[in-house]
Structure 1
Amino acid sequence: MSPDPAILVSDLSVEYPARGVSPSCVALRGVSFRLEAGQSIGILGETGSGKSTLAAVLAGRGLPLRSGEPGPRISGGDATVLGHSLRHARKRDLAEVTFHVGYLPQEAAASLEPSLSVQDNVTLPIFERDEHYNRRAAGERAALMLDTVHLPLSVLAKYPYQLSAGQRQRVALAKALVLGPQVLVVDEPTAGIDATVRDAVIDLLAQLRSHEGFTAVIVSHDLSVLRRATDVTLVLQGGRPVAYGPIEDVLADPSHPFVQGLAHALKPPQRRRERRPQIAAGEVVAGDAVTN
């Protein structure tokens, strides 16, 4: 293994501090894993298990820089992303992480700016960092990203409302990839899209996985995504890790009750065998009588 992993999570605990009448909430407790450059990890768990919080933290999004600011706080352990510790990260550290980590949040398709064209949406991260960046070069980059996510160049001039949900999801993915990130963090990439587009998104994630050095954290309840686009899977329940390993190994030999239930729920239904009626010895079935 490389001495410098892409992501190192060590006994990580994350909480949301109390705000107003809302009490504090511990979202993650004692999460640990190591992700080498070129590997992909899937995050699986029930609603409220801390999956999205883990994704946002690893992407460097939402972490408050000052006391009193809203957002998740690392209350125990640490997460190191591309060499940057997130527990006591400064503004410069978070800027480095967000530059090198692409992030596709939940319902990303709905987060596109409705007043901007697809090209302007995709290139928005570029101009947020350098407002003087060459617009022609940015347009060429946007075209390359659309090709990467298998959308026609004619989409560049359209607006989000003119696209299908699946097309918007792929535009959001192009936006997450536009800076050429070293790590991609995606949260439920196939949620809310039809089966045809779902397969296309899974194909795309599988293709990205084949690229040398592609590193990803993929939150998904979709077994096809976990099978085709990840090397290992971390299962969370109530913010705690309850299983870890290749998805087939996790489901084949579950030791935790929650994982046992998960394995049972995800098991494909067995085909019912049609039982043929038993025929007693000497009994003749209609149409089978032998004539001399």
Structure 2
Amino acid sequence: MIAVNGPAVVADDVSIEYRGVRGAAPIRAVDGVSLTVRQGEILALLGESGSGKSTFAAAIAGQLGATGEGEGAHRRHIAGGELTVLGQKVRGLRPASRKAQRLSGRIGYLPQDAADRLSPDLTVGEAIAEPIYARDRRFDRKEAGLIVARLVDAVHLPLGVMRLNTWELSSGQRQRVALARALVLEPQLLVADEPARGVDVLVRQSVLEALANLQVGRQFSAVVVSSDLREARALADRVAVMAESRLVGLGTFDEVLDNPLDPYVRTLAATAARPVKRRPAAPTAPRRSSAPRRPVGAGTGPRTERQENA
């Protein structure tokens, strides 16, 4: 693994535009965002639908590309500023280049529809292991099986699901399989877009808790997109709040919510639910620890039968 000196992500006045059919004016989805993600920390990207948070996260993951099909397709690109991910400047980086390929192998990406993207023709074990063989077709199958089994256990699924096809699982189980798949290559950075989206409320905690515990154990950096203030606050070290394509708040949750300046941040602060246990801020230098993180949200007891099977 390539060591990174300095922050995992540095965005300096980054702007991202959508370009549609020829002659149409470009649409600015992200406008002048500047922030830093330190090594070993989780940064939450919080905002309403259409705020630009998912587009910005896709840029960090190297997954801008095109959206939509046919005449409705839009090409997304970094139109201004500079974005550096794991020490590599990504603006203008061609996806097929060696630099881009090496960088993509160090980043795990969990899109909003990750669970739906799992191939129904594959077993759970095959789906999680697929990125391993995409990188090295001759990888030892026994070793791959052990890697997959450890991840299945880490995301709170019984090992027996490895033999099932992905379509046989519930939405909550598929989401945890997608998380395991995103982490199977042991990335240095995870970008997760609404990791508990579409998951039943009874098992949302299991998905987020699995992510949090894996991050503690592996010490990767993470950017987690969320539209839920309470979940973001319980999971992340710091928060970046976006509204109408701009960054309107950045810092610890206390710093952002206790002194809101932007109208949207004031709304968040005013509508925040009862206080939750805050995750302590990450140290400047990442620190290895074997102690498990406090479970995300309420309910620290054993999972119920319905949760286990959800």
Q: Which TM-score applies when normalising by structure 2? A: 0.80
**Residue 60 (structure 1) aligned with residue 66 (structure 2):** no
- Which residue of the partner structure matches residue 254 of structure 1? 260
Distance, in Å, in 2 between the alignment partners of 1:57 and 1:217 is 11
Matches within 5 A, 1:85-234: 85-90=89-94, 91-211=97-217, 213-234=219-240
CA-based RMSD of the aligned residues comes to 2.0
Partner AA of 1:42 in structure 2: A
Partner AA of 2:84 in structure 1: T
Local SS of the residue matching 1:30: strand
- Which of these residues, 83, 86, 100, is aligned with residue 87 of structure 2? 83
Confirm or deny: 8 A CA contact 1:10 1:78 kept in the other structure.
Answer: yes
Unaligned runs of 5+ in 1: 270-292
Change (3 A) 1:259 1:158: same
- Which residue of the partner structure matches residue 282 of structure 1? none
Unaligned runs of 5+ in 2: 67-72, 276-310
Confirm or deny: 8 A CA contact 1:7 1:34 kept in the other structure.
Answer: yes
Local SS of the residue matching 1:225: helix
Distance, in Å, in 1 between the alignment partners of 2:20 and 2:233 is 38
- Which residue of the partner structure matches residue 273 of structure 1? none
Confirm or deny: 8 A CA contact 1:125 1:179 kept in the other structure.
Answer: yes
Confirm or deny: 8 A CA contact 1:202 1:224 kept in the other structure.
Answer: no
Distance, in Å, in 2 between the alignment partners of 1:257 and 1:102 is 33
Q: What is the CA distance between 1:104 and its match in structure 2?
A: 0.4
- Which residue of the partner structure matches residue 284 of structure 1? none
Distance, in Å, in 2 between the alignment partners of 1:72 and 1:151 is 36
Distance, in Å, in 2 between the alignment partners of 1:189 and 1:212 is 18
- Which residue of the partner structure matches residue 12 of structure 1? 14
Change (3 A) 1:135 1:212: closer
- Which of these residues, 242, 245, 253, is aligned with residue 236 of structure 1? 242
Q: What is the CA distance between 1:3 and its match in structure 2?
A: 5.6
Change (3 A) 1:21 1:226: same
- Which residue of the partner structure matches residue 31 of structure 2? 29
Confirm or deny: 8 A CA contact 1:61 1:98 kept in the other structure.
Answer: no
Aligned length: 264
Local SS of the residue matching 2:11: strand
1:216-244 deviation per Cα after TM superposition (whole angstroms, max 9, x unaligned): 00001122332222111001111100111
1:76-111 deviation per Cα after TM superposition (whole angstroms, max 9, x unaligned): 011111111110213222212210111100021111
1:144-170 deviation per Cα after TM superposition (whole angstroms, max 9, x unaligned): 111121111101011122111110000
Question: Which structure has the larger Rg over C-alpha atoms?
Answer: 1
Partner AA of 1:175 in structure 2: R
Confirm or deny: 8 A CA contact 2:166 2:174 kept in the other structure.
Answer: yes
Q: What is the CA distance between 1:178 and its match in structure 2?
A: 0.2
Distance, in Å, in 1 between the alignment partners of 2:111 and 2:55 is 10
